[in-house]
Structure 1
Amino acid sequence: MASDDEIYLIDMWRIVVREWRWFISVGFVVLAATFAYLHHARNQWEATAWIQIGQVGTTPVGQDPHVEAFSRTVERLETAAFQDEVLKSVGVPVDAAEGRLYRHSMKIEQLAYANLIKLRVRGYSAEDAKELATATATVLHAVHARIAAAPVALAKGRMEELEATLKETRANRDRLMAEASGDGQAAGLAGVALATSNDDLRALEQSRSELAGRQLANYTYETSMAWPVYVPKERAFPNTFLTAAIGLLAAAFLATLAAVARHALRSRGFNRSRA
């Protein structure tokens, strides 16, 4: 088998040498086409953004504290309406080439274990790609802010109610303490009421402490970018090395094919002339 392969390769080499004009011509055309493609193809850069989904810490236990579920957020990012809003925010016409590239290049990866969404988009310059990625996060932040407005306002209202109740309960406790310090039956009744008031006060203070803790930045925060947008210095498309390698392989293959085809035509013409 190895001997047959060697004979075949030798025969192929002889054909290429015999038809070297066709081999060089076709190879040159393919390489020229590859060079022209690299020279005229519109460059693309890819930007990567890591978006952290906001949370409302006062969400009831057992429910997802995120402003919007990961799957729902991904679906939102993929809608034409959302993408049009992003394009309009940076002044790009929705039917422009930049807009089409933004839509077609968008890649979304859920990193639920890290509470992040990894977003990649492309632009015809590094600045455009970075601007589009930033605008995507900005528009999503605005949408999530509107969604979270009601539960956040509810939590603030609940805190105000607790503060008012605490103030009233403390005033009532102080009054009962003054009454309990006296003598007689009224003082005894005030002492009993004072014990109940102290229990109520401790429960209210605990509720306020828990609610305040759930509103700290560890539990309640807005949708934002975890890190700055990253854009590599090298363009994402076309890849010079990969395209040149493919062009070189295509040139070798097509040039050899052309030489073999020309040799076959010569052989057929020669056989017909002898016949």
Structure 2
Amino acid sequence: MSYLDFYGLQREPFSNVPDPIFFWNGRSHETALNKLRFALEQRRGLSLVIGEIGAGKTTLSRRLFESLDETRFHKALLIVIHSEVTADWLLHRFAQLLGVEHPKHNKLEVLGQIYDRLRIIDEKGQIVALLIDEAQMFGTRELMEEFRGLLNIEAQGRKLINFVFFGLPEVEENLQLDEPLRQRVALRVNLQRYDEADTLAYLAHRVNVAGGKKGLIPPDVAARLHFHGQGSPRVLNALADNLLLEGFLQKTRTLTVAMLDKVAAELNLQESQPDPLADILGHRPVKPGRKSKDEWQEVDLNKLLGFLDKK
């Protein structure tokens, strides 16, 4: 019997491979999606989606891409896989994404091709939306200047090209390499980690989409998943996937907190939880292997009293 058959699943519920079918319209992600659609429909130019590792940026980028009507938008999704990107490569790639069949190698000529293609798309009544995942890889002033130049292309007061950057917080630092470009950011979206209610709804949603039965992950186990995963979708997926595997190997469909703690320990996640009281007291423990002593910083009395009031 396979893992899926054992739990009565039609597909893997917690794979970390981005799949729009599993997109969960949580509060922050749904708001982000609506804001991004509006910015593109209004031709706002440059939008920015910032999130820590595992916050769901890649899934959101694919969901946004899928949601854009092909008759209304000329859309493309570019995934940047390394930081050695040159301005010439970038312009050549954009020309291809816009439908230029034989992009020139000369910069001025390819810019002319891009402009002509943008005008044709605009005359068809379409909006150009270029989504860029892992945008923090664009880390040079030269690249930032190229984006600024492209965003200057307009016709009758309309921007002919729109970008959405999805990336780590370093994207903000890269934009500072070109202050005029930074000032052109029309929309900033910060993806937040899930709170416990979000986590429970997220887990239930993925199990349901995968064809699983309600209650496959008991409430106490789901709450413990939030504790270990700290609201990160990617970490939650890894934990839940390994938990289901653990149950399969033990030949039990009754998933427990003890099983989850074992999985978290194997994934080296148990010791990563912040201690709220230690944080309030200003305690900063030294990492293993460091010879210096633990550090203690000034205590915020108001935070301490607030913490004690909750006890």
TM-score after normalising by structure 1: 0.21
Name the one with the larger strand percent.
2
Larger radius of gyration: 1
TM-score after normalising by structure 2: 0.19
- Bigger relative contact order, structure 1 or 2 (CA pairs below 8 A, ≥6 apart): 1
